[in-house]
Structure formats: C-alpha cells, structure tokens
Amino acid sequence: MSENNAEAGFTGASIPGFEQWAQQWAPHWAAQAQQAASSLSHGFGDAFKQLQAMQIAPEAWTQLQSDYVRQASELWNAAIGEAPARADAAAPAAAAIKDRRFADASWSENRLAHFTAQLYLLNARTLQRMAEQVQGDDKTRARVRFAVQQFIDAASPSNFLALNPEAQRRALNTQGESLARGLQLLMADVRRGHVSQTDESAFEVGRNVATTEGHVVFENELFQLLEYKPLTAKVHARPLLMVPPCINKYYILDLQPENSLIRYAVAQGHRTFVVSWRNPDADCVHWTWDDYIGRAAIPAIEVVREIAGTDTINTLGFCVGGTILATALAVLAARGEQPAASVTLLTTLIDFSSNGVLDLFIDESAVRLREMTLSDQAVNGPGLLHGQELATTFSFLRPNDLVWNYVVGNYLKGEAPPAFDLLYWNGDATNLPGPMYCWYLRHTYLQNDLRIPGRLTVCGERIDLGAIDAPVYIYGSREDHIVPWDAAYRSTQVFKGKKRFVLGASGHIAGVINPPEKKKRSHWLGKGTALPADPQQWLQAATEHPGSWWPDWSQWLAGHAGPLKAAPRAPGNRTYQAIEPAPGRYVKQRA
C-alpha cells in the first residue's frame, strides 16, 4: 500500500462506489460530503504522514494498514447497505455511537454525519495505535502519544459547525439565534482571554464563595493569614494551619458551606487558620522560592503559634502548598525547631520521580528556556508566569472536558455555560513570579532534589525532609492526572515518622473536596501500618470503604490536636488583631 493510497484510505475516497453514492444518494449532501472528506483528509492525512515518517517496525506498519483497510471497508459497506434505494426515499436511523460527543440523535439520523463520526473514530483509533508503535525512548513516545491525542481531540467533527448536525439543527430551529448568541459568547471570551467554563457573573468571592466567617489577623506583601470564627463552644488546644497551593486561590477549600473543608475543620472543633496568597503583579517579579518559604510559610507557622500560645500546631498542605509546607518544616528542623504536631499532605508531590503527563513538558531545554525569559538571569530581568498560561496548560491536559466541550456548547450551540462554583474557581487564575517558578521547575520536576537529604539549601539551611519529627497523613486521588496517586504515595518513603496513607476516588479536586454528607465516591485504607515501597502492593492489600475520607482524617487529626478548651471570643490576640473580615483583599485580586 503506497503512502498516497494510505492517505486516501483515511478519507474513504479510494473505496469503490464512494463518488457514485455521493452523487446518486442525497445529491444535496454532495457538497457537505466533499467538505467533510476534505477536512478529514487534510488533517488526518498530515498526521498520518508525520507518524509514518517516525520509526515504526515494518511488521507493525503492515498490520496497521491491513486492519485499517478492513475496518474502513466494513464501515463503508455498512453505510451504503443502509442507504435507501432511491434518492428521495428515507433512510432508517443508524445505530447510536457510543461517544458522548455524538450522543445526540441528530448524529444517527443524519447519514452523512453518522458516517463522518464513525470515520473520525476509526482514524482516531488508528492514529493512536500508530503512536503506540513509534520507536524511541519512553519520554519521546509519551510525547508523541500526547501530541497525537491533542490533534485527535481538536479534529473531532463535533467541533466544527459545518460537520455538526446538532448545532446545525439548533441554528435552523432558532432561526439563527443560536449562532448569534454563540458569536456574542465568543467575543466576550476573546475580551476575557479564555474560554468560559461557567457563568462567571453568578459568583463573587466573599458573597457566595469563600463565605466561612473569619478575619485577617496578619499580612505582609506575600500573604494574608485568615483565622476562622469557631463554630463550637470548645476548640482543641492545638490550632490547624492550612497552606493551599499558590498556583490557585485558597477558596477551593471554601467554595460553599456544604463542601468547604475549612468549615468542616472548624465544625470539628479546630481553631483554623489559612494562608491566602497574594496574586503577584509586576511589583513581585523578583520573588523567589526562598521568599515563599522564609517570608510566608515560616512566618505563618510562627504567627499561628503565637496567637494560639502553643509550641506546636497541626499543619496541612494541599498540592504545591504541601511542597511549600514540607520545605518550610525542613528548614525549621535544620534550625533545631519542630513546630508541627502533625502534617497532612493532600495530593502533594515530594518525590518527583515520575509525575504522569506533566513530565512531558519538563526537560533541560524547556527549563532553560523558562530561566532565560523569567528568572533573575533573564536578559530583560525577571518576569511573571501569567495565570492564564498556566490555566490553559492544565485545561489541555483534559481538552475534551475542559476545552472542546465549551467550544461546542458556547459557540456552536449558543448555550451559555451554567453556574458552577468549582469551574469559577478554576478560571480565577493566579500569576507566579518567574524566579520562584524556575527554581521550582528545576529542583523538583527536573532534578528531583527535594527528596535527597542535604541536596538543597533553602533560606540558608541544608534541608532534609526526613528530619521533620511529626506524624504525617498523606492523601492521594486515584484518578488524579496532576499528582498521580502513586506519586503522592512515594512521600511515604521520604518521611521517617509515623505515616498514614489514604487513597480517595476521583481526581485532583473532586477527590479532595468530597464532604461526608454527600455520601459520594469511596476511599481505600491500608492494612495495618504497612507502607511498602511499591504502591501497587499497598493497593492490593487495601480495603475500599464507601464515602468520604474526611471522617478518617478528622479522627486522625483529633488524636494530635490536644485537649478541648473554651473557644476564643475574638480573632487573633493583642499583638495580632483583626485587620479586615475574611476572605480579605488578596484573594480578590484578579490575574
């Protein structure tokens, strides 16, 4: 099979009877058929040729060709076999395609659309198989698979008005109003600089998200420290400090009262404090990783200790916030201080040996490019990594769910996305200072230095995370694509004290924000205290339990929180008095 014939095979043009069918059966579809075939031919044909140019074993290539020709022929024969004998006769509806992008009845009722969707899925499967057969090192092959999947998702006929019968029908039924609304939504998103995933006008920070009552009791140029009003008459002697990720706003932990981890902790009798990061602007481009540790995380720990009047506190870090918290505690351990009575790490990376799809973006050349443009060594001085760039990157890790779904709904169908608090938070982007970001990339994702005792110097101290003398509760989400659960599990091999690992269902956010009252999902608990080096070995011995992991964590935390005492009547103390009501000014800064 020649290269040209192979490319033609992707369009169906080389199958006998194609042109006659297009001309004799439903002549008014002929132009659409050519447009669909041309779109599939050029897009998939180019991808086909690029993959073919890579090294694929001859026997694998032969098998791919043979399988494709056979399946394409079966697909075509099925299509013409279901066609009516006369051009003016009605064809029976085709069987529904088991893909949610083509679930609407219009894809089955429109014979051309049905064939186009099936041809697309065949092409997609074949390209995926080709990507699997590309020879090379693991990282190269993974990058090829990722790039091919990005192309496949973007090339879906559902993404184009000319090929989407559902959008066309909606346009006809509304006399073009759906297209006019879609254009309005598109122009609004162009002004915003991103594809809208929710009705952003429906939410306001402090009004209907981030509403747990509290006060700012300390602030500097990097962060505000929030203390929440007790919901119980008595509180545990040791307070709880939460350190959220600085790449997002803290209120993922406080979206609504019914799904707020912050409110849950307060309701369990914990005097709760939370770091609210400043959204960096042009005045903050010089901030470094040491600044985030020495001028933010460590001061937060010290202020909470002083306000509560305790030597030790309970601590929690989420995602990058967990990495920052662990680094700060390691710096303090190097100084002979052990302020943590316990450490909770939620979907946190400590050992960056392998980190799923994010590893595809990290190598020496990529990090050097960032350093040359954003770090202190940049020609034009340090800069900012803008929040929208980071948000777009994360969205394209799941493009069908977080990009193309909204392109189709917003612009082709003219449907404004519904109000959803989680997606509002997801679109509330934050910037990162270039020097801090570049240090983080090099010393964690690229070089994996953090797990090695004495490898890194932070705030003037050589750090060893194994020197942190505190029990550690480590949580991972089973379907997490940002912090794969086995990567989160590897933290169990870094810390030396008592450890508990819990695995939750779902992903990076939905797995963490899973309140018990919803009675959703499940979690896995290990057998005894055994934490073998192999995460799969742990999972095989673990037991699945229905519902949220929060009660398990709450019970564990209570064991480290000390006795109960009367709840404070006012936030802060004489030294650190209330500055303004929660959620404070910093969280309201937009990128």
User: 246, 284, 319, 438: which is the annotated catalytic residue?
Assistant: 319
Structure tokens, 278: 């400043």
Distance CA 269, CA 246 (A): 26
Structure tokens, 403: 């990009």
What single-letter amino acid sits at 249?
K
Active-site residue flag, 319? yes
Structure tokens, 357: 């799809």
Beta bridge partners of 503: 476, 524
Distance CA 122, CA 131 (A): 14
Distance CA 441, CA 480 (A): 20
- Closest listed residue to residue 448, CA positions, set 388, 512, 493, 509: 493
Distance CA 526, CA 541 (A): 6
- Closest listed residue to residue 129, CA positions, set 42, 243, 52, 220: 52
Report in angstroms the alpha-carbon separations of 489 from 55, 227, 238, 289, 446.
36, 31, 27, 24, 19
Q: Counting beta carbons within 10 angstroms of the beta carbon of residue 90, is it exposed (0 to 12), middle (13 to 18) or buried (19 or more)?
A: exposed
What single-letter amino acid sits at 584?
G
Distance CA 470, CA 341 (A): 6
- Closest listed residue to residue 319, CA positions, set 487, 90, 144: 487
Catalytic residues: 319
